[in-house]
Each structure stands twice: as C-alpha cells, then as structure tokens.
Amino acid sequence: MIWKKHFTLEQLNEMGKHCAVGHLGIHFTQIGEDWLEAELTVNEKTMQPFGVLHGGISATLAETVANAGSLLVCEPHQIAVGMELNISHLKSIKAGKKAIARAYPLKLGREVHVWNIETKDEEGNLCAVARLSTKVLDKPAA
C-alpha cells in the first residue's frame, strides 16, 4: 500500500463538502492499494447546454481525485497542489449518468507526483484520460 495518510472515504468526502468539490457533487467512492476513485452525476451543475458532461467539470473531477491521492501519499507535514493538468475527452457522458474517475500514480517523487486518471461512464466506457502533476509543499503555518 502506498498511502502514508489514512483517510476514510467519509473523511475525504467531508473535506470537500464546503468547496467546489461539494458544490459539484463529487464524492469519493473507493480506495485501493495504489488508486483512488471518485464520481459525480451529470446534472444541471455539471453539464454543458447540450446535455452532456462539461469538459471543464470532467477536468475538475480528474484533478480532484488525483490531488487527493497525492495528498494521501504526502508526509504528515506536507500538502500537494496541482501544477499541470492535461486531459483528452474521448466520449461524452449524458445527463443522469455517472462519471467515474480512477487515479493511480505514475511517479511519486519527493517534490513532484504524477498521476494518471481514467474517467469512465457507468457502462465502463473510457470517456476521458488525464495526467496531473502535483507539487509537494510543506503545510503553511497555522
């Protein structure tokens, strides 16, 4: 197992409750030995005018799940912040359906983490692929 911080799904979901993550309805659903998964429902908060998942929200979901993964592999005195995100949208997800993003690390360095994120629909179709690089920083003083 790669995790240095041990959060439950409930704790991860509580952390995002009062920010963009909660507003969009993103919630964490699974933690594996070296991967983390979150999902959202395509609805009026997350879709574009054509009734499919908005690409920017798809990117937000990808960054959210990978950044949380990066946070969980940081030392207790550290945090992780996104540096670069790239994403390719491969297939749309229609209103009323779920977008499910799974992130797993490609590189876990002392200062930089790189994560791969695959977003699928409920049927398991690959809908987007993304890569997030995060910078590991010391927590700011309280």
Judge whether 10 counts as a catalytic residue.
no
- Determine whether 127 is exposed, middle or buried from the number of CB atoms within 10 Å of its CB (0-12, 13-18, 19+): buried
Beta strands in 1-97 (DSSP E): 27-31, 36-41, 78-89
Which residues does 55 contact at the CB level (< 8 Å), separation at least 6? Answer: 48, 87, 89
Q: From the candidates 37, 39, 63, 118, which is the catalytic residue?
A: 63
Is residue 38 helix, strand or coil? strand
Instruction: Return the half-sphere exposure (C-beta side, CA atoms, 13 A cut-off) of residue 96.
Output: 0
Tokens representing residue 96 in the block: 């009323």
Catalytic residue numbers? 63
